[in-house]
């Protein structure tokens, strides 16, 4: 991938760092250490991954198929220094055979969800003669552009955090520990907006601190720009995008399927309100929820006085009472959520006889669908939250919770959805799906933990 250079990913999980970072402050219910290990395992750029820790995370490593190296603290110094890093690399090389050319050292504060930026940093490094590429987090104030070869980052509005180090093996093992922090480097800067690069080739990765709420950060920066380009409000060249045209088809049928007799609709992940005109045209009471403050602000400005409620929240926690809505829409957002939780929340807020319109990606798509595979890899590289659904398990979970699928459409290959090519009988393998889920009654007693989603499709799991 990088000019035939082997890349080793190292996740440093010290007990000291876990305490400092608030390790048990969960990211979507996942402890910070597990989030980092899982994200590293999902990175396609690494030829090998080892977790170096003095904590009991061996079980987590086994779960995600990565190596574990336990270290003992040395002297008065706590945390993972360069000597321990070297020991972990040597252990990994002895265990796996052969040397690694590039070592990417990451702490549990690393913004691993921005894997494409780490990928870019490694690529820049592999094409240059520099010794090391550092990363920083915690951008403070408006700041100024940081200066190459200097470590006074806080003076320029950036707090130096040594969150990611990209090392060449020769430099890693050739310098003394006392010299390691003084190695000069250029910078690769990612400031306020996700993906907006300053200058040409800076080697310093500067990202907002995201370990408290990574999903909210992700959807407030960069992703909003993506939807600005796709919504008809901003895209004046077309009357409607293919996504909106396809939604209109299903929305009309969804309205006909409602048996609850009301007109309240909740749009989950409503964004700027691209579907609101359809709801308003049907004289429905419109409610919208989105994780992005910027998107909700825009929707509020555009539809002020024409919608009943807009709020900023995660879709895993819908802040409305039970049996409240006649329709819930989760269009092109379900695959970015904790699906097991969102299914429960949708059925909780739906009235009896009400309908949810849901779309998602299937866990098992055709092995020769290269466009689907490329899309999955690119989403992972960009750090976009991306979950694949075990359709049969989802259907069983819905039934356990008092729901039933009253419409099922299956799209075999990537691109079929946009073209409106669907099957009504479930094929063996398919890429996307759309269902209408009607609430028929209460949940069937105590529901166990049924897992319906995975961060990797079955194809990528086999490749791993």
Give the pLDDT confidence score for residue 330 in this predicted structure. 97
Sequence-ordered alpha helix ranges (H) in 212-338: 214-220, 223-230, 242-257, 276-281, 293-303
pLDDT in tens, 434-455: 999 999 998 876 555 678 988 8
The C-alpha torsion from 281 through 360 and 355 to 216, rounded to 10°, is -70
The C-alpha torsion from 306 through 307 and 310 to 314, rounded to 10°, is -130
Give the pLDDT confidence score for residue 18 in this predicted structure. 55
Give CATH 3.40.50.150 domain extents, the chain. Answer: 225-463
Closest CA to 362 of 333, 389, 337, 330: 389
Q: Enter the CATH code of domain 225-463.
A: 3.40.50.150
| Token pair 């929340």: residue | 345
Indicate the pLDDT class of residue 302, thresholds 50, 70 and 90.
very high
Least confident among 120-124, 136-140, 146-150: 146-150
Higher pLDDT, 111 or 251: 251
Closest CA to 452 of 341, 316, 365, 377: 341
Name the range with the highest mean pLDDT among 61-75, 124-138, 361-375: 361-375
Give the pLDDT confidence score for residue 201 in this predicted structure. 30
Mean pLDDT across the chain: 75
pLDDT in tens, 421-438: 999 999 999 999 999 999
Closest CA to 102 of 78, 132, 75: 132
E strand spans, 174-226 = 205-207
Helix, strand and coil percent figures for the chain, each rounded to 5: 35, 20, 45
Sheet containing strand 350-361, strands side by side = 309-312, 285-290, 264-268, 325-330, 350-361, 432-439, 403-411
Domain 7-212 CATH class label: alpha beta
Give the pLDDT confidence score for residue 361 in this predicted structure. 96
Give the pLDDT confidence score for residue 414 in this predicted structure. 94
Please check the confidence at residue 121 and state whether its pLDDT lies above 70.
Answer: no
Give CATH 3.90.550.10 domain extents, the chain. Answer: 7-212
Name the range with the highest mean pLDDT among 59-63, 92-96, 180-184: 59-63
Indicate the pLDDT class of residue 232, thresholds 50, 70 and 90.
very low
């Amino acid at each position: 991938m990088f000019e035939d250079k082997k890349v080793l990913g190292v996740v440093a999980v010290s007990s000291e760092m876990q305490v400092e970072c608030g390790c048990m402050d969960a990211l979507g219910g996942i402890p910070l250490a597990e989030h980092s290990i899982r994200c590293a395992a999902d990175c396609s750029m690494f030829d090998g991954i080892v977790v170096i820790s003095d904590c009991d995370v061996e079980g987590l490593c086994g779960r995600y198929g990565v190596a574990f190296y336990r270290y003992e603290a040395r002297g008065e110094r706590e945390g993972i220094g360069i000597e321990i890093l070297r020991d972990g690399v040597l252990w990994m090389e002895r265990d796996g055979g052969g040397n690694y050319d590039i070592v990417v050292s990451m702490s549990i504060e690393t913004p691993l969800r921005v894997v494409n930026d780490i990928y870019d940093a490694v690529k820049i490094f592999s094409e240059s003669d520099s010794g090391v590429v550092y990363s920083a987090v915690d951008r403070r104030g408006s700041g100024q552009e940081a200066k190459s070869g200097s470590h006074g980052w806080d003076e320029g509005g950036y707090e130096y955090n040594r969150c990611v180090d990209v090392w060449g093996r020769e430099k890693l093992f050739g310098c003394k520990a006392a010299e390691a922090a003084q190695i000069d480097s250029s910078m690769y800067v990612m400031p306020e907006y996700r993906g907006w690069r300053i200058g040409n080739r800076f080697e310093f990765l500067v990202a907002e601190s995201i370990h408290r709420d990574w999903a909210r950060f992700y959807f407030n920066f960069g992703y909003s720009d993506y939807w600005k380009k796709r919504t008809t409000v901003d895209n004046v060249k077309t009357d409607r995008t293919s996504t909106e045209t396809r939604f209109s088809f299903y929305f009309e049928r969804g309205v006909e399927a409602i048996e609850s007799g009301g007109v309240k609709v909740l749009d989950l992940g409503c964004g700027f309100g691209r579907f609101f005109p359809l709801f308003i045209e049907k004289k429905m009471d419109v409610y919208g929820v989105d994780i992005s403050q910027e998107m909700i602000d825009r929707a509020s400005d555009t539809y002020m006085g024409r919608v009943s409620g807009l709020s900023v929240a995660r879709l895993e926690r819908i802040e409305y009472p039970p049996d409240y809505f006649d329709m819930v829409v989760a269009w092109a957002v379900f695959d970015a959520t904790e699906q097991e939780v969102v299914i429960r929340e949708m059925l909780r807020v739906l009235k009896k006889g009400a309908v949810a319109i849901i779309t998602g990606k299937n866990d098992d798509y055709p092995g020769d669908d290269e466009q689907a595979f490329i899309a999955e890899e690119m989403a992972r590289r960009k750090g976009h939250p991306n979950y694949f659904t075990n359709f049969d398990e989802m259907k069983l979970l819905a039934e356990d919770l008092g729901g039933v699928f009253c419409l099922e459409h299956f799209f075999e290959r990537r691109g079929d959805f946009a073209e409106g090519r669907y099957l009504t009988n479930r094929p063996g393998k398919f890429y996307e799906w759309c269902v209408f889920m009607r609430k028929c009654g209460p949940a069937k007693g105590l529901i166990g933990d049924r897992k319906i989603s995975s961060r990797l499709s079955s194809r990528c799991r086999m490749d791993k």
